[in-house]
């Protein structure tokens, strides 16, 4: 089979209820999908960008981790190593100053 699919926001194309990963840089692009000899071969601009074994199941997600390299959070949760300490709020003013500017209290 020779098909055309659009790469979804989750870095994958859908084929027969299954989802096959594609490099994240191709989100929104149309790709050629060839199903041949038990393989799902995905091409963009004539180049093979993904090659997966055809999944016999349904509603499965077939992922190549290399397709997510460079995406924030691809290697785990995105967190700072230590909590960020904020300086004391020196620029804040008492509410009374704002009340004086607008002409009285509430």
Would you give the end-to-end CA distance of the chain in angstroms? 73
Higher pLDDT, 26 or 72: 26
CB count within 10 Å of CB 22 equals 25
Banded model confidence at residue 61, pLDDT cuts 50, 70, 90: very high
Least confident stretch, 2-6, 16-20, 44-48, 84-88: 84-88
Q: Quick one: average pLDDT of 16-31?
A: 96
Confidence of residue 70 (pLDDT cuts 50, 70, 90): confident
Query: What residue has token string 């997510």?
Result: 68
Judged against a pLDDT cut of 80, whether residue 64 lies above it is answered with yes
In the chain, which ranges are E strands?
A: 2-6, 12-15, 18-21, 30-36, 39-44, 47-53, 61-62
The reported pTM is 0.69
Walk across the sheet containing 61-62 and list its strands. 12-15, 18-21, 61-62
Asked whether 99 and 106 are in contact (CB, 8 A), the reply is: yes
C-beta of residue 5 within 8 angstroms of C-beta of residue 12:
no
pLDDT of the residue at 23: 96
pLDDT at 106 over 60: no
Which of 4, 1, 16 lies closest to 62, judged by CA?
16
């Amino acid at each position: 089979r020779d098909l055309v699919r659009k790469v979804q926001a989750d870095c994958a194309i859908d084929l027969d209820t299954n989802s096959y990963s594609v490099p994240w840089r191709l989100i929104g692009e149309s790709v050629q999908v060839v199903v041949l000899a038990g393989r799902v071969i995905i091409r963009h601009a004539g180049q093979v960008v993904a090659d997966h074994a055809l999944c016999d199941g349904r509603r499965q997600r077939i992922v190549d981790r290399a397709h997510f390299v460079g995406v924030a959070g691809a290697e785990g949760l995105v967190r700072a190593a230590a909590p960020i300490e904020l300086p004391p709020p020196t620029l804040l003013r008492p509410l009374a100053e704002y009340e004086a500017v607008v002409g009285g209290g509430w």
